[in-house]
Structure 1
Amino acid sequence: MSKEIFYADATRLASMIRNRDLSPVEVMQAHIDRIAATNPDVNAVVSLAEDAMNQAAAAEAAVMRGEELGPLHGVPFTAKDSIDTAGVLTQRGSPIFKGRRPDEDATSVARLKKAGAILLAKTNLPEFSYWIESDNLLSGRSNNPWDLTRTPGGSSGGESAAIAAGMSPLGLGTDLAISIRGPAAQTGITSMKATHGSVPMTGIWPRAPCRFWHVGPMARSVRDIALAFSQLSGPDGHDAFSSNALVYVDGLPLITSRPLRIGWMTGPGLGPVDPQVAAVVKSAAHSLMAPGIVVEQVGIPALERDFALEVFNRIHVMEMKPAFAAATAGRHPDELYKMAKTMLSMPDTSLSDFIDAEQAAERLRDGFAEYFSHYDALITHVLPIPAHKHGVEKFVIDGHEVDATYLQGATVPLNVTGLPGVALPFGKSHEGMPISVQIVGKWHDERTILHIASLLEAVSPLKDAHPSL
C-alpha cells in the first residue's frame, strides 16, 4: 500500500482523504518513510518540516469532524529551498544563509496551505537557484533517480528528483531560464511555468529583479498542475508583476468553435538538438492529429533573428549582478560556490548592448504574437539532450559543440517573453532516460496548453512510469 500512496498523484490522494479511504497521517507517514529510504542516494530533500506529522493529525481530525475541506486537504507538498517557509529552514543553497528560518511563508506556500496542503520538506538547489545542476557547498549534490550518475537538473533539481522518486506528490519550484521545466524533463515529471506574474514571487530570493523569474507547480500529472495552478494564481498586493487577471482552470475539456491549430518545431532559433529528442517532439505533435487538431511544422523568424539565450544573458547580467553583490557583500570567498563567483566576475553589459538586447526582447515578443495570431499553441523540446552526467560543461549536440548554457535554448525564450509553458514526458532515450516536450501558449492561456498536455499525457509512452529506486 505504501507504494500506491507515494506514487499516487495529489488529486487522487486528496480524493481518497476526502472519502476517508486514506488518512492524512497515513499519507504523510508513507512519504516520510519514502524520504528515509531513498534520500540518502538521491539527496533531494535538505530539511523536513518539523510539524508535518502534527499538521497531518490536525488534518485527519478535520476530516473526522466533517469540516469543509480544501481541494488539497491533507496532501503533502515540498518546496524548493529558495522559497520562504515560516519557521522552516530556507537556506538558498548557501552557507551565507545557513540556519535561516523566515518569519512568513512565501505567497505560493501560503496559498497551497490555504488549499489544505501540508508542507513536508524543503528541496535542494544550486547556490542562489543559479545553475542547471543542483549542487552547493551547504547540502551537496542531488542525483537523478533514474540514474544516480546523472543530474536531475537545476535549479529546481531537488524538487524534480523528490517528486520523481516518490518523496513528494506535489512541489513548488522557481524558473529564471529553465529551472521548472528543465529539471522536470530530466526526471520525467510534469511542470508548468505560467504566464509571467500569474503566480506572485513574494517571499522568494531575489526580491529584485523579478521580471524573468517565475514560481510554479511541479507534479506527476497534468491534473495536479492544473489544480495547483488554480490555487496559486492571482495578485497578492505585494509583487508588482503579479497579474490582475485571475486565471481559473477547472479541468473541464476545452470547448472551441474550430479545430485547434498547433505548430511544432525543434529549430532553427533554439540551438542544436539531439535527433532522438527531435523525434520525440515530432511524435508528440503527430499524436495530436487523432483528436482532430491541425498540426504543422513551423518556424518563428524572430527566434532566428535574435537568439533568445544571448538576449537574456546580456540583459540578465546587468540586472542580476547587483543582487549577487548585495547578498555576498563582506563574505569570505570560501562561502561562495561556482556560480556566485562566476556571476561576480562577469564583465558588466555595456549600456549600448543592454539597449540592443532590450530591443531584441521586444522583437521576440512581437514575433511570438505574430505566431499566435495563426496558432493556438507551439510544441518544442524542453532540453536538446536527455539528462546528462554530473559535471559536464561541454556537449556535442547533433555535431555542434556547445557549452552547458545552451541547454536553455528552448526554455529561455519563454522567460524573455513571459509566455506560459508546460513540460511533459513523452519518450525515452536510447539509454532509458526520460525525454519531454514543451507546450507553449499565449499570454494567460494556460487552459489551452493544459488541455493539450492532458491529451498528450493520455498517450504518452511514459504515462505512469517511475524510476526503479
Structure 2
Amino acid sequence: MSDVTATDITASTAAELSRALQSGEVGSVEVTQAYLDRIAAQDGTIGAYLHVDADAALAAAGAVDAARARGEELGPLAGVPLALKDVVVTEGVPTTSGSKILAGWRPPYDATLAARLKAAGTVLLGKTNMDEFAMGSSTENSAYQVTRNPWDTDRIPGGSSGGSSAAVAAGLAPWAIGTDTGGSIRQPAAVTGLVGHKPTYGSVSRYGLIAFSSSLDQAGPMTRTVLDAALLHEAIAGHDPLDSTSIDSPVPVLAEAARRGAGGDLSGLKVGVVTELGGEGHADGYDPGVLARFAETVALLESLGAEVRQVSCPAFDLALPAYYLIAPSEASSNLARFDGVRYGVRVGDDGGRDLDEVMALTREQGFGPEVKRRIILGTYALSSGYYEAYYGQAQKVRTLITRDFTTAWDDVDVLVSPTSPTVAWSIGARVDDPVAMYAADLCTLPASLAGVPAISVPCGLSDGLPVGFQVMAPALADDRCYRVAAALEAAQDAARGHTFLAGMENPHS
C-alpha cells in the first residue's frame, strides 16, 4: 500500500496518475476506489453521473494491476479512470443520451472511441449526465436530473456535456469525454474552469455516438490541463473505416505540442482577435468581466512573443441563426429512428392501437420539450416550399463562414475569442427563454460550422466564476491549439495538480 492519500489521488492530473501507476507508486484499484468514494460522497449534490458501476470499474482496474504485476507491456493510460458522456455507446452499459426514450437501453457494441479507450486500459467510472440528445447549453434539459456547477451549485455547469465538466471540475473523474456539436465541450469547460477541445471534424470517429447533427457532432477531451487533453485526444483520434466522414490522415503529435507550448515562447505566432466575437466594438451581450479577462489574456499572448492583430470575419455574425437551422434539420432526420419499434421505450402498445399511434405516443412521452422544439423547427426548415428559403440559405452561410476562416488563415496562425459571452448563470434563469439559451453558443458556433479545431482554456475569474479563452486553428492543425493553450496555461501559473489558474482553486478540493 502506498503512502499516497485518496485526496492526493483525486487532486492529481491524469498525466500524474499515469506516471504513478507506471512507477508502481499506486495501483489502479486504489486510484479507482478513491474516485468511487468521492463520487459516493459528493455526486448526490453535483449530479454529474447517470450511471456508475463500481464493481465493473474495480474489476477492470484489478485486471490492469494483474497485467502490470505479470510484467505485461501496458500503454500510458492503462489503469487511469475515465468518465464518458452518456451519448457514447458502451457495450452492456446503460446509454440513454439523457432521454427517457432510451431509458434502460444497454447497447450490444462499443463506440469506436470507447473501444479505443478500453484497449488502452482506461477504467470506466460511469456515464455522465447531459442535455437530452445533446440539445442544450446548461444540462437542464436532461430527462433525469439537473447537474450543478461545482464552483457554485446554484449555477449551471454548461451543456450539453455538463455532466462531464462537473465530474472533472469536482474531482469525480480525472478526465472525461464530451461531445461538441455547436460548443458542447468548450462552453461547459469554460464555465467550470477546465480545458476542453473540439477536434477537427472527422479526426475522431463518430461511430457509436448517438447522433444529433451528423455534419457537426465531434467527440473530444475535457480535462484539468492542456497536456491531459492532448494525451486523451491522441488516444481516441485516428481514421475509422466504420465512419464514412472519418479523415484518413495521421494523428498529429499533440502531447508533444502541449509540452513544447508549456515553454512559453510564442515568438513568430500570428494571432487574430475576431472582431465579431468580442473584439473591438462588439461588447453587446458579453459580461464585462469576461471581456476584461479576454483582453488580459490577449495581452499575455503578446508578452509571450505573439503578434496580435484584429481580424474581421463578417459571416460569423450569422453563425447563430445558420446553426439553429442546420442542426435541427439534421436532428429531425436522425431522431426519426426513435420510434418505439426497434429499441428503447415503447408506449401504448396494448393491442388496441396501430403502429402510427404507438409511435406518436412513444415520441410524445419519450422526448422532452427542447428535443420536440428542434425536431419541429428542423422538419419545417426541410419541408417542401421552405427548404431553400431556410436550410439552403443556412448552408450558404456556412460556406461563407468557412471562407472567412480560409481568408483569415492567409494572415494569422490562430484566431482567438472568449469561449462563452458570460459566466455560468443561475439554474432556471434561461429555461423559459430558448433564444437566450442559444446565445451561449455565440462564440463557439463558427468553428463547429467550419469543422476546424478549437480549444477552451481557463483565463481567470469574473465575479468569482471561471472564464474561458478560445483558440481556433485551421483544419488538422489541432497541435497549434494545444501549443497556444499550453503556453497560456504555463504563463498563468497553472498546475499544482490542477489547471485552475492563478487565483483559481479547485472548488471541491
Are residue 40 (structure 1) and residue 44 (structure 2) matched? yes
- What is the Cα deviation at residue 136 of structure 1? 4.8
Q: What is the DSSP-based 3-state SS (H/G/I as helix, E as strand, rest coil) of the residue aligned with 1:289?
A: helix
Tell me which amino acid in the other structure corresponds to 2:480.
Answer: T
Are residue 334 (structure 1) and residue 365 (structure 2) matched? yes
Tell me which amino acid in the other structure corresponds to 1:121.
Answer: G
Aligned position for 1:425: 458
Aligned position for 2:343: none
Kept in 2: contact 1:324–1:343 (CA 8 A): no
| Alignment length (residue pairs) | 461
1:263-309 CA-to-partner distances (Å, cap 9, x unmatched) read: 224246796322211111111111122322212233223324xx111
Are residue 98 (structure 1) and residue 103 (structure 2) matched? yes
Aligned position for 2:505: 465
Give, in whole Å, the separation in 2 of the partners of 1:246 and 1:175: 22
Give, in whole Å, the separation in 2 of the partners of 1:214 and 1:332: 26
Aligned position for 2:400: 363
Kept in 2: contact 1:312–1:416 (CA 8 A): yes
Aligned position for 1:283: 296
Q: What is the DSSP-based 3-state SS (H/G/I as helix, E as strand, rest coil) of the residue aligned with 1:253?
A: helix
Give, in whole Å, the separation in 2 of the partners of 1:409 and 1:314: 15
Tell me which amino acid in the other structure corresponds to 1:352.
Answer: E
Kept in 2: contact 1:270–1:410 (CA 8 A): no
Residues 131-146 of structure 1: pairs in structure 2 closer than 5 A = 131-136=136-141, 138-146=143-151
Are residue 352 (structure 1) and residue 388 (structure 2) matched? yes
1:81-119 CA-to-partner distances (Å, cap 9, x unmatched) read: 111111111111122111111111111111122222111
1:227-266 CA-to-partner distances (Å, cap 9, x unmatched) read: 1111111111011111111223242526999711112242
Larger radius of gyration: 2
Aligned position for 1:253: 260
Residues 205-284 of structure 1: pairs in structure 2 closer than 5 A = 205-206=210-211, 209-248=213-252, 249-251=254-256, 252-253=259-260, 259-265=268-274, 266-267=278-279, 272-284=285-297
1:379-406 CA-to-partner distances (Å, cap 9, x unmatched) read: 111110000001222899xxxx962211
Task: Select 1:455's aligned residue among 487, 498, 503.
Answer: 487
Q: Does the C-alpha gap of structure 1 residues 260 and 392 become closer, same or farther in structure 2, counting only changes over 3 Å?
A: same
Kept in 1: contact 2:266–2:305 (CA 8 A): no
Aligned position for 2:312: 299
1:425-468 CA-to-partner distances (Å, cap 9, x unmatched) read: 111112x1111111111110011110100011112363272113
Aligned position for 1:414: 447
Kept in 2: contact 1:271–1:409 (CA 8 A): no
CA-atom RMSD, angstroms?
Answer: 2.3
- TM norm structure 1: 0.93
Are residue 177 (structure 1) and residue 182 (structure 2) matched? yes
Kept in 2: contact 1:164–1:187 (CA 8 A): yes
1:27-56 CA-to-partner distances (Å, cap 9, x unmatched) read: 000000010111000000111134110111
Tell me which amino acid in the other structure corresponds to 2:455.
Answer: V
Tell me which amino acid in the other structure corresponds to 2:460.
Answer: G
Give, in whole Å, the separation in 2 of the partners of 1:314 and 1:335: 23
Give, in whole Å, the separation in 2 of the partners of 1:89 and 1:57: 22
Give, in whole Å, the separation in 2 of the partners of 1:41 and 1:29: 19
Aligned position for 1:312: 323
Q: What is the DSSP-based 3-state SS (H/G/I as helix, E as strand, rest coil) of the residue aligned with 1:151?
A: coil
Give, in whole Å, the separation in 1 of the partners of 2:109 and 2:11: 30
Are residue 88 (structure 1) and residue 88 (structure 2) matched? no
Kept in 2: contact 1:380–1:437 (CA 8 A): yes
Give, in whole Å, the separation in 1 of the partners of 2:328 and 2:234: 33
Q: What is the DSSP-based 3-state SS (H/G/I as helix, E as strand, rest coil) of the residue aligned with 2:124?
A: strand
Kept in 2: contact 1:395–1:402 (CA 8 A): no
- What is the Cα deviation at residue 11 of structure 1? 0.8
- Amino-acid identity (%): 33
Structure 1 unaligned blocks of 5 or more = none
Higher deviation after alignment, 345-354 or 208-217: 345-354
Give, in whole Å, the separation in 2 of the partners of 1:94 and 1:127: 5
- TM norm structure 2: 0.86
Q: What is the DSSP-based 3-state SS (H/G/I as helix, E as strand, rest coil) of the residue aligned with 2:302?
A: coil
Q: Does the C-alpha gap of structure 1 residues 260 and 246 become closer, same or farther in structure 2, counting only changes over 3 Å?
A: same
Kept in 1: contact 2:85–2:128 (CA 8 A): yes
Kept in 2: contact 1:324–1:340 (CA 8 A): no
Tell me which amino acid in the other structure corresponds to 2:456.
Answer: A
Task: Select 1:389's aligned residue among 410, 414, 426.
Answer: 426
